[in-house]
Amino acid sequence: MKLIEKLKHEFFLVLPPTIFFFIAFTLLVTTQRLIFRQYGIPLTGFGAALIGALLVGKVVLVADKLSFMNKFPDKPLIYNIAWKSGIYFLTTFIVRYIEHIVGFLREYGGVMEANRHLFAEMVWPHFLLIQMWMAVLFLVYCTLQELVHALGKKQVIRLFLGRDTFLG
């Protein structure tokens, strides 16, 4: 019975960031679809949005346990919001860059040559548009997360919904 309680607890911990990032990644996929539609390029990705949301939801929870993530506990909330948003943004930038360069590494072998082709062939406005989305989404997520930490889940729900909806 202890295992079931632990799994239930973990499920409810990962649920809020997973829902948030599923909505966020669905917005990103929709943005990409609209961009690619202009060029007649079909794009799927809602399954990738769900998988990405599950991964990021768990990674965010694990990252929040690291000591350096809560670097400014005695400062105004904006410090931790900016710090965490910056770390998440930089991490996604690196991961997305690696994701793009892997194909070029397979094709061209060396890192320098792969990098040269990546810089020449990547559609940078699309890459940067998605990164801008990620910056805004991480800023919103970290703001909500810090509000919940500072005020408590019940108070935040009460502030947003005006009543004790969904509270147990």
Residue-wise pLDDT tens digits, 68-82: 888 888 899 999 999
Higher pLDDT among residues 140 and 93, named by residue: 140
Question: Does residue 163 or residue 160 have the better pLDDT?
Answer: 160
Q: Taking the model in full, what pTM does it have?
A: 0.75
pLDDT > 90 in the chain, percent: 14
Kindly state the percentage of the chain with pLDDT values over 70.
Answer: 92
- pLDDT at residue 134 greater than cutoff 90: no
Residues recorded for the chain? 168
Q: Tokens 């079931």 identify what position?
A: 4
Give CA–CA dist 121/138, Å, rounded. 28
Query: In the chain, what are the domain boundaries?
Result: 1-65
pLDDT of residue 43 exceeding 90: no
- Secondary structure (H, E, C), 75-139: CCHHHHHHHHHHHHHHHHHHHHHHHHHHHHHHHHCCHHHHHHHHHHHCCHHHHHHHHHHHHHHHH
> Looking at the predicted structure, is the pLDDT value of residue 62 above 60?
yes
- pLDDT(53) > 80: no
Which one has a higher pLDDT value, 111 or 45?
111
What is residue 63's predicted lDDT score, i.e. its pLDDT?
Answer: 78
Quote the pLDDT of residue 139: 94
Distance (Å, whole) CA 79 – CA 75: 7
